[in-house]
Amino acid sequence: MKNLGILLSGRGSNFEAIANHVAAGKIPGARIAVVISNKPDAGGLTTAKKLGLTVLAIPSKGLAREEHDRAVVAALKEHKVDLVCLAGYMRLLSPWFVQQFPRRILNIHPSLLPAFPGLEAQEQAFAYGVKVSGCTVHFVDEELDHGPIIVQKAVTVLDSDDEHTLAARILEQEHIAYSEAIRIVLEGKYQVVGRKLVRAVTAK
Ligand code: GRF
Protein backbone atom coordinates (compact mmCIF):
# COMPACT_ATOMS: atom_id res chain seq x y z
CA MET A 1 0.00 0.00 0.00
CA LYS A 2 1.18 3.50 -0.81
CA ASN A 3 0.16 6.31 1.51
CA LEU A 4 -1.17 9.52 0.02
CA GLY A 5 -0.96 12.76 1.98
CA ILE A 6 -3.35 15.45 0.76
CA LEU A 7 -2.68 19.14 1.39
CA LEU A 8 -5.50 21.59 0.79
CA SER A 9 -6.67 25.07 1.74
CA GLY A 10 -10.24 25.31 0.46
CA ARG A 11 -13.33 23.50 -0.79
CA GLY A 12 -11.40 20.34 -1.65
CA SER A 13 -13.24 19.07 -4.72
CA ASN A 14 -10.03 17.62 -6.17
CA PHE A 15 -9.37 15.83 -2.90
CA GLU A 16 -12.94 14.48 -2.93
CA ALA A 17 -12.51 13.15 -6.47
CA ILE A 18 -9.28 11.41 -5.44
CA ALA A 19 -10.99 9.96 -2.34
CA ASN A 20 -13.87 8.64 -4.47
CA HIS A 21 -11.46 7.06 -6.93
CA VAL A 22 -9.45 5.46 -4.13
CA ALA A 23 -12.66 4.09 -2.54
CA ALA A 24 -13.78 2.71 -5.92
CA GLY A 25 -10.47 0.90 -6.37
CA LYS A 26 -9.52 3.09 -9.32
CA ILE A 27 -6.12 3.99 -7.86
CA PRO A 28 -4.81 0.52 -7.08
CA GLY A 29 -2.53 0.23 -4.09
CA ALA A 30 -3.33 3.70 -2.74
CA ARG A 31 -4.86 4.83 0.53
CA ILE A 32 -5.27 8.33 1.91
CA ALA A 33 -3.19 8.40 5.08
CA VAL A 34 -3.81 12.00 6.10
CA VAL A 35 -5.53 15.19 4.92
CA ILE A 36 -3.88 18.39 6.11
CA SER A 37 -5.03 21.98 5.74
CA ASN A 38 -3.31 25.22 6.60
CA LYS A 39 -6.82 26.73 6.90
CA PRO A 40 -8.70 25.23 9.85
CA ASP A 41 -12.08 26.14 8.28
CA ALA A 42 -11.40 24.58 4.86
CA GLY A 43 -14.42 22.80 3.40
CA GLY A 44 -12.15 19.95 2.34
CA LEU A 45 -11.40 19.13 5.98
CA THR A 46 -15.10 18.77 6.76
CA THR A 47 -15.50 16.38 3.81
CA ALA A 48 -12.45 14.40 4.89
CA LYS A 49 -13.83 14.05 8.44
CA LYS A 50 -17.17 12.83 7.05
CA LEU A 51 -15.28 10.22 5.05
CA GLY A 52 -13.64 9.04 8.27
CA LEU A 53 -10.14 10.04 7.18
CA THR A 54 -7.37 11.30 9.43
CA VAL A 55 -7.55 15.08 9.36
CA LEU A 56 -5.14 17.71 10.64
CA ALA A 57 -5.33 21.49 10.67
CA ILE A 58 -1.90 23.08 10.82
CA PRO A 59 -2.60 26.82 10.66
CA SER A 60 -0.06 28.80 8.69
CA LYS A 61 -1.19 32.17 9.98
CA GLY A 62 1.58 34.01 11.79
CA LEU A 63 4.23 31.38 11.05
CA ALA A 64 7.30 31.82 8.86
CA ARG A 65 7.11 29.64 5.73
CA GLU A 66 9.75 27.17 6.81
CA GLU A 67 8.44 26.89 10.36
CA HIS A 68 5.03 25.92 9.00
CA ASP A 69 6.56 23.60 6.42
CA ARG A 70 8.49 21.80 9.16
CA ALA A 71 5.28 21.09 11.04
CA VAL A 72 3.56 19.83 7.87
CA VAL A 73 6.50 17.62 6.85
CA ALA A 74 6.68 16.17 10.36
CA ALA A 75 2.98 15.23 10.13
CA LEU A 76 3.42 13.73 6.66
CA LYS A 77 6.35 11.65 7.88
CA GLU A 78 4.51 10.59 11.01
CA HIS A 79 1.74 9.23 8.78
CA LYS A 80 4.32 7.53 6.55
CA VAL A 81 3.24 9.42 3.45
CA ASP A 82 4.78 8.18 0.19
CA LEU A 83 3.19 10.69 -2.17
CA VAL A 84 2.12 14.25 -1.34
CA CYS A 85 -0.79 15.62 -3.38
CA LEU A 86 -1.35 19.37 -3.34
CA ALA A 87 -5.05 19.88 -4.02
CA GLY A 88 -5.80 23.58 -3.90
CA TYR A 89 -3.06 24.15 -1.32
CA MET A 90 -2.58 27.89 -1.45
CA ARG A 91 0.97 27.95 -0.08
CA LEU A 92 4.25 28.00 -1.89
CA LEU A 93 6.44 25.18 -0.55
CA SER A 94 9.90 26.07 0.71
CA PRO A 95 12.83 24.45 -1.13
CA TRP A 96 13.45 22.49 2.06
CA PHE A 97 9.95 20.96 1.91
CA VAL A 98 10.42 20.03 -1.76
CA GLN A 99 13.72 18.33 -0.93
CA GLN A 100 12.08 16.15 1.72
CA PHE A 101 9.98 14.37 -0.96
CA PRO A 102 12.02 14.33 -4.17
CA ARG A 103 9.68 13.74 -7.17
CA ARG A 104 7.07 12.72 -4.62
CA ILE A 105 4.96 15.89 -4.59
CA LEU A 106 2.23 16.51 -7.17
CA ASN A 107 0.21 19.64 -7.86
CA ILE A 108 -2.77 20.41 -10.05
CA HIS A 109 -3.07 23.71 -11.86
CA PRO A 110 -6.11 24.92 -13.84
CA SER A 111 -4.35 25.86 -17.08
CA LEU A 112 -2.20 24.24 -19.74
CA LEU A 113 1.19 25.10 -18.25
CA PRO A 114 3.46 26.88 -18.95
CA ALA A 115 0.61 29.23 -19.89
CA PHE A 116 -0.97 31.14 -17.03
CA PRO A 117 0.84 30.05 -13.88
CA GLY A 118 -0.15 31.62 -10.57
CA LEU A 119 -3.50 32.67 -9.21
CA GLU A 120 -6.81 32.72 -11.10
CA ALA A 121 -5.44 30.86 -14.09
CA GLN A 122 -8.87 30.24 -15.62
CA GLU A 123 -9.70 33.97 -15.48
CA GLN A 124 -6.28 34.83 -16.92
CA ALA A 125 -6.80 32.41 -19.83
CA PHE A 126 -10.35 33.61 -20.49
CA ALA A 127 -9.32 37.26 -20.45
CA TYR A 128 -6.43 36.51 -22.81
CA GLY A 129 -8.89 35.08 -25.31
CA VAL A 130 -7.42 31.61 -25.69
CA LYS A 131 -9.49 29.07 -27.63
CA VAL A 132 -8.18 26.10 -25.68
CA SER A 133 -7.29 25.85 -22.02
CA GLY A 134 -7.29 22.97 -19.55
CA CYS A 135 -5.44 21.62 -16.57
CA THR A 136 -2.03 20.24 -15.69
CA VAL A 137 -0.86 17.78 -13.06
CA HIS A 138 2.87 18.15 -12.51
CA PHE A 139 5.66 17.27 -10.12
CA VAL A 140 6.43 20.10 -7.74
CA ASP A 141 9.89 21.59 -7.90
CA GLU A 142 11.24 24.73 -6.30
CA GLU A 143 9.55 27.09 -8.78
CA LEU A 144 5.86 27.97 -8.87
CA ASP A 145 3.71 25.76 -11.17
CA HIS A 146 6.83 24.54 -12.89
CA GLY A 147 7.97 20.90 -12.46
CA PRO A 148 7.75 18.10 -15.08
CA ILE A 149 4.26 17.51 -16.46
CA ILE A 150 2.52 14.20 -15.74
CA VAL A 151 -0.94 14.68 -17.28
CA GLN A 152 -2.66 17.50 -19.16
CA LYS A 153 -6.29 17.70 -20.29
CA ALA A 154 -7.42 20.25 -22.86
CA VAL A 155 -10.75 22.07 -22.68
CA THR A 156 -12.15 24.01 -25.64
CA VAL A 157 -13.26 27.56 -24.86
CA LEU A 158 -16.77 28.11 -26.24
CA ASP A 159 -18.07 31.43 -27.54
CA SER A 160 -20.82 31.14 -24.96
CA ASP A 161 -18.36 30.75 -22.05
CA ASP A 162 -17.66 33.19 -19.29
CA GLU A 163 -14.81 32.61 -16.85
CA HIS A 164 -17.11 30.68 -14.52
CA THR A 165 -18.45 28.18 -17.07
CA LEU A 166 -14.93 27.69 -18.41
CA ALA A 167 -13.56 27.12 -14.88
CA ALA A 168 -16.33 24.59 -14.21
CA ARG A 169 -15.48 22.54 -17.31
CA ILE A 170 -11.78 22.70 -16.46
CA LEU A 171 -12.60 21.48 -12.94
CA GLU A 172 -14.40 18.41 -14.34
CA GLN A 173 -11.21 17.52 -16.19
CA GLU A 174 -9.10 18.21 -13.08
CA HIS A 175 -11.11 15.58 -11.23
CA ILE A 176 -10.19 13.01 -13.89
CA ALA A 177 -6.60 14.14 -14.45
CA TYR A 178 -5.42 14.06 -10.84
CA SER A 179 -6.24 10.40 -10.24
CA GLU A 180 -4.77 9.49 -13.61
CA ALA A 181 -1.49 11.18 -12.64
CA ILE A 182 -1.42 9.50 -9.23
CA ARG A 183 -1.90 6.12 -10.93
CA ILE A 184 0.98 6.80 -13.30
CA VAL A 185 3.32 7.86 -10.52
CA LEU A 186 2.42 4.99 -8.17
CA GLU A 187 2.75 2.48 -10.99
CA GLY A 188 6.26 3.82 -11.50
CA LYS A 189 6.60 2.80 -15.13
CA TYR A 190 8.13 6.05 -16.30
CA GLN A 191 11.34 8.00 -16.37
CA VAL A 192 11.80 11.72 -16.12
CA VAL A 193 14.23 12.77 -18.83
CA GLY A 194 14.99 16.47 -18.47
CA ARG A 195 11.52 17.96 -18.17
CA LYS A 196 9.84 15.06 -19.92
CA LEU A 197 7.96 12.25 -18.29
CA VAL A 198 8.45 9.29 -20.60
CA ARG A 199 6.24 6.29 -19.96
CA ALA A 200 7.53 2.76 -20.48
CA VAL A 201 6.16 1.12 -23.61
CA THR A 202 4.14 -1.92 -22.64
CA ALA A 203 3.92 -4.88 -25.00
CA LYS A 204 0.47 -5.31 -26.53
C1 GRF B 1 -8.35 23.94 -8.46
O2 GRF B 1 -8.79 24.71 -9.55
C3 GRF B 1 -6.89 23.60 -8.62
O4 GRF B 1 -6.50 23.41 -9.95
C5 GRF B 1 -6.20 24.79 -8.03
O6 GRF B 1 -7.00 25.17 -6.95
C7 GRF B 1 -8.34 24.74 -7.17
C8 GRF B 1 -8.73 23.89 -5.99
O9 GRF B 1 -10.06 23.47 -6.03
N10 GRF B 1 -4.84 24.46 -7.69
P11 GRF B 1 -10.59 22.39 -5.03
O12 GRF B 1 -10.29 22.91 -3.61
O13 GRF B 1 -9.86 21.11 -5.30
O14 GRF B 1 -12.06 22.28 -5.26
Asked if residues 34 and 54 have their Cβ atoms less than 8 Å apart, the reply is: yes
What is the predicted pLDDT for the residue at 66? 93
Q: Give CA–CA dist 55/44, Å, rounded.
A: 10
Q: Is the pLDDT of residue 201 over 90?
A: no
Q: For residue range 119-148, list pLDDT tens digits in order.
A: 999 999 999 999 999 999 999 999 999 999
List the catalytic residues.
109
Instruction: Compute how many other C-beta atoms are within 10 angstroms of the C-beta atom of residue 91.
Output: 16
Atom number of ligand 1 nearest to Cα 17: 13
Which pLDDT band holds residue 204 (cuts at 50, 70, 90)? low
Task: Give per-residue pLDDT as tens, 7-61.
Answer: 999 999 999 999 999 999 999 999 999 999 999 999 999 999 999 999 999 999 9
Q: What is the DSSP letter of 41?
A: T
With b for 16 or more beta-carbon neighbours within 10 A and e for fewer, the 33-46 pattern comes to bbbbbbbeebbbbe
> What's the CA gap between 78 and 179, in Å, rounded?
24
pLDDT one-digit tens code per residue, 177-194: 999 999 999 999 999 999
Question: In terms of DSSP bridges, do strands 149-156 and 30-37 run parallel, antiparallel, or are they unpaired?
Answer: unpaired
Q: Which domains does the chain have, with CATH numbers?
A: 1-101 (3.40.50.170), 107-204 (3.40.50.170)
CA 199 to centroid of ligand 1, rounded, Å: 26
